[in-house]
């Protein structure tokens, strides 16, 4: 590794304003463990991607908290998928974000969850009818 290449142990990608406290906890813990950490937000995404593309930065691990809600972060994960440990890979993120699937996975693996109705998205079916008896 050339001395001009900067190494970052943990890159945290976030796009959610309410992640601030959580991200600060991660940064504090990284410092305690003597790990370098950097946060990528929308405003720093393109410069970070450019640094990666130009080989000016090397990442140990990516904790991606943004690609599931912001498509512009996909490129970051794609650039790093074979170069760093990706803590929240896109395929797993998509699978885990499907609440109906997760509910069934929990039950199938012995984690009992409250009885739940799995219905179509309101965007797909605006006429979902449930009676009081259905809900009781």
- 109-128 per-position pLDDT tens digit: 999 887 777 777 777 777 77
Mean pLDDT for 40-45 is 98
Q: What is the DSSP string of 85-123?
A: EESS-HHHHHHHH-HHHHHHHHHHTT-----------TT
Contacts with 6 (C-beta within 8 Å, 6 or more apart), sequence order: 51, 56, 57, 58
pTM beyond 0.85, yes or no: no
pLDDT at residue number 136: 64
Residue ranges per structural domain of the chain: 6-96, 97-135
Predicted pLDDT at 121? 74
**Tell me: the pLDDT tens digits for 68-113?**
889 999 999 999 999 999 998 887 777 777 777 888 889 999 998 8
* From the candidate CATH numbers 3.40.1010, 3.40.50, 3.80.10, 1.10.287, the one assigned to the domain spanning 6-96: 3.40.1010
């Amino acid at each position: 590794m050339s001395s001009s290449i900067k190494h970052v142990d943990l890159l945290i990608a976030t796009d959610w304003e309410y992640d601030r406290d959580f991200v600060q906890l991660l940064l504090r813990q990284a410092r305690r463990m003597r790990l370098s950490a950097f946060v990528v937000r929308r405003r720093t995404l393109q410069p970070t991607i450019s640094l990666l593309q130009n080989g000016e930065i090397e990442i140990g691990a990516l904790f991606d908290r943004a690609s599931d809600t912001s498509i512009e972060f996909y490129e970051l994960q794609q650039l790093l998928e074979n170069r760093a440990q990706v803590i929240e890979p896109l395929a797993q993120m998509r699978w885990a974000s499907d609440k109906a699937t997760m509910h069934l996975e929990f039950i199938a693996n012995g984690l009992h969850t409250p009885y739940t109705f799995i219905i179509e998205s309101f965007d797909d079916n605006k006429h979902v009818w449930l009676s009081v008896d259905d809900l009781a």
